[in-house]
Chain A
């Protein structure tokens, strides 16, 4: 399945801002994170199509996965 992966803040360093990626059907968000070499402990926010999700979620073809470290501001 083809998904869009967006990385933010420090996760972009040495990787990319946004990329189209092909993953086998049934791949979890956690699997996509692992493939990027991002330690799961550093994940702050995970969203699929604008909604917060867990690492176990299996995205559907065409979904956008947004991956942030722990950030804050205001």
Chain B
């Protein structure tokens, strides 16, 4: 993990790869790595789809090792959706494979001339580039199936579907899971469009012939890895709730709390929520011969994923995540898990962010394009996106564009990125994160739900403005740090509650790299990453007025609590005053 791979897609005579030492980026993984490189190397005023933008992939610091849950992969760039800095991350197999190949980051720059699509193969012998138009216009499922006939089933694929090829603002980059399903997506911010603009259809990551990265202190690493797993298993969230019910365990929680955005953020409770809940989903998966517990990557103890089968007991998609079940379900007034699963499959296949697409369809429903609750209509709209019809291209450009095209006032976006599955009026802490994170509305950037709703890491009343800025600030700093280790963010639940598990994480990093990191270093790292991201956005033209929720959240009360968002603008402007 001491090498950066740099790929120039503009090079004369075809793309060229060079390597360089990790240098000043040593000690960074995941979002920390991608954001620091993007902030250093990308012109904040560049067009996101131009040759000047860069696409930076980075595995976590412990990728490829025996540390549990260490295989997330991040991608960073200037976002075509928000116009600001972007980091998106995913599970799947690619992160572990890159870790074993020894790459701390891959920087893809430039843009090839002509219309050919490229395939990049990365293996122990280096990097090779191939013109390959055979997958043009194919979805991620067909693309992976075709590629796996050539490259086999023991490699990881990162691909774009039709949406990325069309450079749509909601497009994602897919990573394959252990079963070679392209179901784990670096979803947010239109990262697929940046890969499409660089004419890259697929990246094949082949770890054959590699060995796991060795720790500087192998004995200490082994001890810490064992204790870390015990800590994940001991905590009720990572040891019981997530394995049994997946992320969708939250549907009932948020619905009971009156914070479940329904009918495009018009209401805070959905009558059909129990039909969509994690409890119902897990039972349905088991009844149909799927799996309620499944790991998206090798070596994860938590196993929050699952496998969803249709009425014919055949594979449809992975277990749809809470965010997806909400965006395509309750947010659109749809209470049918089979419809949600079909939409999830289509998003994965076309290569689209499920949050952005569900919110976009909700906005289209508000505009009267189809009615709320019309599941078959939602499927038809998503098919338009995959086909690239004029309507489909509007929808595939996200909720902000769709709201403007159809003249809708209630458009739930910040920095043009759609809000996730928590109403900020009924969970004020997450509203602070939505408004202020450099990423655009993103729940993962400072997951105040933990403390506002789930009572993990303490409790701050979700319906009052008091304490929310401090909560969001501390969570955003901690998250930027955890994201920079590249471990799955779900380790945050035990880390927030169990000091010994947090120490185990530090011990893992210290044993692997021969460091002496403390909790204070972690806080400093989080601040450093956030400051770099904020600076990039400032140079890209973002000001304090971009750190706001849409006005309707301050003015239109949401049932059942009749709450509005009451954290003041002055308070929002103090989030990054450390």
Where the two chains meet, the residues of A that have a C-beta atom closer than 8 Å to any C-beta of B are: 6, 8-10, 12, 17, 42, 44-45, 47, 49-52, 66, 68-74
Contact = CB atoms under 8 A, between A and B. Distances in A.
B256 A70 contact: no
Given A9-B249, A10-B244, A47-B257, A74 B489 contact: yes
Nearest to B561: A50
Contact of B241 (A47, A50, A52, A73): A73
Nearest to B249: A71
A6 to B, nearest CB: 7
A72 B456 contact: yes
Is the contact region of chain A dominated by helix, strand, or loop, or is it mixed?
mixed
A17 B244 CA distance: 17
A69 B462 CA distance: 19
A39 to B, nearest CB: 12
B444 interface: yes
B252 interface: yes
B240 interface: yes
Contacts of A6: 256
Contacts of B456: 70, 72
Interface string B542-563: 0000000000000000001100
Could you say which interface size class chain B belongs to? Answer: 35 or more
Interface-centre pick from B252, B323, B561 (highest chain A CB count, 10 A): B252
Given A44-B236, A44-B455, A45-B453, A73 B257 contact: no
A49 B269 CA distance: 12
A10 B239 CA distance: 12
B327 interface: no
Is the contact region of chain B dominated by helix, strand, or loop, or is it mixed?
helix
Contacts of B236: 42, 44, 69-71
Nearest to B559: A50
B232 to A, nearest CB: 12
Contacts of B129: none
A70 B459 CA distance: 13
Given A45-B453, A50-B560, A70 B237 contact: yes
A10 to B, nearest CB: 6
Given A9-B245, A47-B257, A51-B463, A70 B252 contact: no
Contacts of B244: 9-10
Contact of A45 (B240, B246, B247, B455): B455
Interface string B58-99: 000000000000000000000000000000000000000000
Interface string B265-286: 0000000001000110000000
A50 B489 CA distance: 27
A42 B450 CA distance: 17
B252 A8 contact: yes
B223 to A, nearest CB: 27
B468 to A, nearest CB: 15
A8 B279 contact: yes
A52 B256 contact: no
B254 to A, nearest CB: 10
19 contacts: A9-B279, A10-B240, A12-B279, A44-B455, A45-B454, A51-B463, A66-B256, A68-B252, A68-B253, A70-B235, A70-B454, A70-B455, A71-B249, A72-B237, A72-B242, A72-B250, A72-B493, A73-B248, A73-B249
B256 A69 contact: no
